[in-house]
Amino acid sequence: MRAPVLLYACFGVDPRRWSQELRRALPELELRLWPEAGDRGEIDYVLAWNHPPGFLTQFPNLHAIFSMGAGVDRLLLDPELPAHVPLVRMADPGLAVFIKEYVLMRVLHYHRDMPAYEQQQRARLWRQQPPLETRQRRVGVLGVGQIGGSCARALAELGFEVRGWARSARELPGVTVFSGAGSLPQFLSGVQILVCLLPLTPATRGILNAELFVQLARGAWLINLGRGAHLVEADLLRALDSGQLAGATLDVFATEPLPHEHPFWLDPRITVTPHAAALTRPETAVPRLVENIARERSGQPLLDLVDRAAGY
């Protein structure tokens, strides 16, 4: 059996660390770095990110397409994405850890009234804010899959009243889970901090909108780590102006990088981070990739397959 050939085609991502880690973990692998692809017919696998539409059609003998990111919405937007080739999302355990840290950081930031203290500091005002116990704070997590479920459990372990919402029913220790579109109003009722970790699908595009915001507790906080297209930006600004929302943390945006003139940059009610809540790291991501290559070559089912109809 010849050595497997993997093409690294992650546009905008420096290949050096990935090359080192892949060659260390799978020395028999023949690794090619785009644009040095060689004979296109010899490519067995592509590790892809941010490729142009139609790019993958030039490799006629692909056995699998591996996404560098956990989200595959960009790949699925490619109208020429080969329909017969298995598509695999990135299940990097390091991503889950980083996102959980970020969620805990921002939920606790809001829970302990840090925005009020920051405002007081600017005004040189010495005033203590009586803290709530975590059990008095209702936190909702939109999307409780592998990563969202980990975040919801961690919040529950801190004593928060945690609700989760998912497309299909599931159980999480310490978390009240609602499922299906019909249960969304019940899930949202009284939520004071809302965390969005949904995949981007036709059903979830624009879900963070005026209709949703008004169902939250007045003065709620929003944390969006899903995709920028989940958020209707004008509705967020109106909800902030009306006081329905007190503030928001946004790590993802409809246009990235966020344009220099965008109003979010200078709005004191909004915290902007540059899609940095979690970054795929080759040290933690490569072992799963190597495992999947071994499984494919031995005829075993691939792990972390994308359901193209569902969008994740």
pLDDT the model gives residue 310: 86
CB-CB neighbours of 309 under 10 Å: 6
pLDDT of residue 101: 98
3-state secondary structure of 174: coil
Q: How far apart are CA 167 and CA 241, in angstroms?
A: 31
pTM above 0.75, yes or no: yes
Residue located via tokens 């459990």: 153
User: H helices of 132-221, where?
Assistant: 146-157, 184-188, 210-213
One pLDDT digit (tens) per residue for the chain, 312 residues: 689 999 999 999 999 999 999 999 999 999 999 999 999 999 999 999 999 999 999 999 999 999 998 889 989 999 999 999 999 999 888 899 999 999 999 999 999 999 999 999 999 999 999 999 999 999 999 999 999 999 999 999 999 999 999 999 999 999 999 999 999 999 999 999 999 999 999 999 999 999 999 999 999 999 999 999 999 999 999 999 999 999 999 999 999 999 999 999 999 999 999 999 999 999 999 999 999 999 999 999 999 999 998 888
C-beta neighbour count of 223 within 10 angstroms: 28
The answer to whether the beta carbons of residues 246 and 221 sit under 8 Å apart is: yes
Sign of CA dihedral 190, 196, 201, 206: positive
Cβ neighbourhood burial of 35 (10 Å; 0-12, 13-18, 19+): exposed
Domains identified in the chain and CATH numbers:
5-92+281-297 (3.40.50.720), 93-272 (3.40.50.720)
Tokens found for residue 57:
């059609």
- Which residues are the active-site residues? 227, 275
